[in-house]
A and B are shown apart, each in its own frame.
Chain A
Amino acid sequence: MRYIRPLSIEDAAGLLAGSTGTAAILAGGSDLLVRMKGGFIEPDLIVDIKAIEGLGEIRETAEGFSIGAAVPCAVLGESKVLKKAWPGVVEAANLIGSKQVQGRCTIVGNLCNASPAADSVPALVAAGAKAVVVGPGGKRTIAVEAVPTGPGKTSLAKGEIVEAILLDKRPPRSGDAYLRFIPRTEMDIAVVSAGVNLTLDEQGRVKSARLALGAVAPTVILVEAAAEVLIGSRLDEATLERLAKVCSGACRPIDDKRGTVEFRRKVAGVLAKRAATTAYKRAGGK
């Protein structure tokens, strides 16, 4: 086994592309080290990307924000501008694990671990976030929902690394929110979760909306029918009930140690309602 800390993203991609055995990228390590401890993975090569310049930064650009692959989730919570623009994304990132874990884990790691229950992913999908992928073939930018393809599986090719997550600049009257259900108050994996991102028109009606659900299908799902329910509404009681119904119906959950099919369906609708209400308020809706 080798541990290498490259100084450029090209070197990192090259090491991964050239590796013969199992290679793993180490950013926060909060998933990788757990898998190593459990004997589920024994990498021949660990590529620590934290020394690569720029990967540990949140940059504000003309288009919005670029969050480097090595930025710990705790840092997202400390960025006032990011929190103001994308409160839902930040609260999702700050729900992962404990304070200890948040000091290490990254949203890129959360995305690439490809768990359907990943906390930051529904918020990112709802936000319309994009992933910048660097690999032997160059650089490409894809929607975050295109990265995970199933539990533990991604669309990334050998040698490819997600370098950063891009979030757009916010139009006025926008708001987002993320909620998850866990049995305890902290430290659990989401049993079901919902991320909502809304923009209102000048009359306070929903102009555009994206809603994503977590832990109810093999990947986080973007529920387009939910957006249709929301658009044009002022989130009155009837809209919210319809939203809950549509969201429950969009679920394809399983029974497992964390919850039942029935529970996930029902609570997906409840969380969608509640997250939409918070996002609506954050967007200035009344």
Chain B
Amino acid sequence: MNFDPRYSGRSFTSVGTRPIRPDGVDKVTGRARYGADFNMAGQLVGRVLRSPHAHAKIRKIDTSKAEKLAGVKAVITAADLPDLTDGDAAMYDILDNCMARTKALYDGHAVAAVAAVDARTARQALKLIEVDYEVLPHVVDVDEAMKHTAPLLNDAIFTEGLEEKPVKPSNVTKRTQYGHGDIHEGFGQADFVVERSFKTEQTHQGYIEPHACVASVSSDGTADLWVCTQGHFVYRQHCAQLLGMEASKLRVTSSEIGGGFGGKTHVWAEPVALALSRKAGRPVKLVMTRDEVFRASGPTSATSIDVRIGARKDGTITAAEATLRYSCGPYAGMWAEIGAMTAFACYKLDNVRTVGYEVLVNRPKTAAYRAPSAPMAAFAVESAVDELAKEIGMDPVEFRIRNAAQEGTRSSYGPVYGPIGIGPTLEAAKNHPHMKAPLGKNQGRGMACGFWFNFGGQTCTDLNIGMDGSVSLAVGTVDVGGSRASLSLVAAEELGIDYGQVKAVVADTSSLGYNDMTDGSRGTFSSSMATISAARNAIKTLRDRAAQTWDIPIDDVVWEKGHAIAKGEKYGNLAALSLKEIAAASGKTGGPIAGHSELVADGAGVSFATHICDIEVDPETGSTRVLRYTVVQDAGKAVHPTYVEGQYQGGAAQGIGWALNEEYIYGKDGRLQNPGFLDYRIPVCSDLPMIDTQILEIPNPNHPYGVRGVGETSIVPPLAAIANAVSNAVGVRMTHIPMSPPRILAAIEAER
């Protein structure tokens, strides 16, 4: 790392303002190009044939009839995507997910694909492909899948992480454990103990833009891929590895992305499109239908979680324990492990233990979804915490404040915390007017806390200064929600120029060094660090050019407010040189002026939030209405506060949908019953109130401006906050998410 990333307190000129985003006009005029908005001359239409069975052996695939259909240019199966993963298990799983090899493992699993001259021909061709399936027993429920009698998805899986190596294969790929202290002793000190089991159903990221790409492989082995993705460099690596290509010969351009939330972090159909293009010798456009998106991409884990928490009469938690079972789809994952790490992260605990089980089921491969695994764990823990506070007779906010983690606390996942924001968010919530607002009949208030790690990672940025003094910033992290605006602000801040002088773009994989994808709330955090570094490098060059112009040593030139200034009385007659003036002369002083940066932006700094919500329940129908919702979250430093608010509001809205109505519903046949926006019910505009936000700024010591990631934490508390509100409204503890009207009504009726 070529610069000092430490936080230094300073006042800002551009950072913290709210200008219009640079990509905005194209997005309000329909000009912005997303995955499906790009076309190439001579392109074919790619379509994927998917398994109608939840679990089936593929005996034989006969593609001969499809190949003979006029207009069909290529038909592929797993045979056209041979295994080149060389023992890399994670990549093998991605390959098998892209195209089933020996078994179809879920309803919607790809088994073959075609490229044809038009969509109609491609559709007809799919019907002509004959697949001989041997249908196998299936299992979709996470608890059922753990039973010894459950159908096995993969008989080569033996549970890892057990004391003794198991002799029999299992659907449980791994057991993990976190914690410290002695929970038996801790529970022994408790005056009150709450013990509950919880369940959450599987949800989908629900991005409005289906996966889409255009792939073009040339006969010389070079290729282009246009694709909607959260990480085009990662997609390049994946595709190159799976197709046996050299990474540098595959240029990947990220389109505008119509939402990802974790669902566009690894490849799904892109290697298939490339393989079709390679075989057909023509570009192939492959766009998933909404049905395919739900059946074969994305979803998060379904979970089953047991929680036990004990506390003394004075409100001190003495012990906490959770067992977390997370579905992974048909391939090994680390979803329960993340749940186990995050479950109790908000609290200061002397005795804590969490155990996670990763469980295979005949559902689509689980993908990351915004703070993956944390919302479900928080739902279980924060529900139990609320119940425990009630038993002790303490206010739930006070109870949490009393037990909140702080700097120096050993986290439940191991390390000791640096400066963190859980306490301040709780204090802010406690003092928020929302907490004191009166409630009506059938209304309940709930609150809950949430935690997320946040990531940094590999980042590379180019900052080029034009001869007219305008600045173009090329970043490699995909802009999922306004990061080009915030990065332009950062460049303007560092250079001391106007925001309008900077234009940020997302560069393709051939124009910039490797960047990790936009995940883990790292987009603005890491690229701003690289942008600051690149700007500082450019400033060094600018100072050098000014020094040359003045013929004085560079050490006598400082950079202030967008100008080079010769410091010291002896230079009193030298007028400051603006960036524009230095740029205009750059052809004579040494050529173009640029700043480059490549770094690993680690030290993202963990993030906490506290949410408050009011819910009204119709006791006769179980129908709910969110009356009021407030998000309090630490941003470190809000670079563009409007987009920070947007992240808070968006995460809360997704969490509200998850809490109340969103779920994957499988039939007895193991087929997904609701693969569409009609019956997979994400919140609509009339379902929600305005979502109030309060941004706290507790600087991250590992970022020059104190920035933390903000994108994910906001989805962690809502499930629990709403469950607590509903439980308070109806007087029955809700333990199953989503709290759909039939579930709420059944709970009320059972209590009567």
Contact = CB atoms under 8 A, between A and B. Distances in A.
B684 A257 contact: no
A38 B681 CA distance: 19
Interface string B268-303: 000000000000000000000001000000000000
Contacts of A189: 678-679
B587 to A, nearest CB: 56
11 contacts: A181-B621, A181-B623, A183-B660, A185-B625, A186-B684, A257-B673, A262-B749, A263-B742, A266-B749, A267-B621, A267-B745
B686 interface: yes
B746 A263 contact: yes
A185 B746 CA distance: 20
Given A262-B746, A263-B742, A266-B745, A184 B679 contact: no
A119 to B, nearest CB: 14
A185 B741 CA distance: 12
Contacts of A245: none
A270 B620 contact: yes
Nearest to A258: B679
Nearest to A244: B620
Closest 9 pairs (CB-CB, A-B): A263-B742, A185-B686, A257-B673, A257-B665, A270-B620, A183-B661, A260-B742, A185-B687, A186-B686
Nearest to B680: A257
B621 A270 contact: yes
Contact of A181 (B687, B741, B746): B741
B684 A263 contact: no
Nearest to A37: B289
B51 to A, nearest CB: 16
Nearest to A188: B681
Given A257-B665, A270-B620, A183 B684 contact: no
A157 interface: no
A188 B623 CA distance: 14
Contacts of B674: 257
Nearest to B660: A183
Contacts of B677: 187
Interface string A246-272: 000000000011111011001100100
B683 interface: yes
Contact of B741 (A183, A186, A256, A257): A183
Interface of B: 123, 291, 620-623, 625, 660-661, 665, 673-674, 677-679, 681, 683-684, 686-687, 740-742, 745-746, 749
Interface in A155-169: none
Contacts of B665: 257
A267 B742 CA distance: 10
A39 B127 CA distance: 11
Contacts of B684: 184-187
Majority SS at the chain A contact face: loop
Given A257-B674, A258-B679, A183 B686 contact: no
A38 to B, nearest CB: 7
Contacts of A191: 741
Residue of A184, A260, A270 contacting most chain B CB atoms (<10 Å): A184
Contacts, number: 60
Contacts of A259: 741-742
B746 A38 contact: no
A187 B621 CA distance: 18
A97 to B, nearest CB: 9
Nearest to B291: A38
A276 to B, nearest CB: 14
A259 B746 CA distance: 11
A184 B660 CA distance: 9
A188 B291 contact: no
Nearest to A39: B123
B746 A184 contact: no
A257 B661 CA distance: 12
B733 to A, nearest CB: 20
Contacts of B746: 260, 262-263
B66 to A, nearest CB: 16
A181 B622 CA distance: 10
A183 to B, nearest CB: 5
A191 to B, nearest CB: 8
Contacts of A187: 677-678, 681, 684
Nearest to B657: A184
Contacts of A257: 665, 673-674, 679
Nearest to B290: A37
B623 A183 contact: yes
Contacts of A270: 620-621
B620 A183 contact: no
Residue of A188, A256, A257 contacting most chain B CB atoms (<10 Å): A257
Contacts of A266: 620, 745, 749
Contacts of B291: 38
Given A263-B745, A263-B746, A270-B621, A184 B687 contact: yes
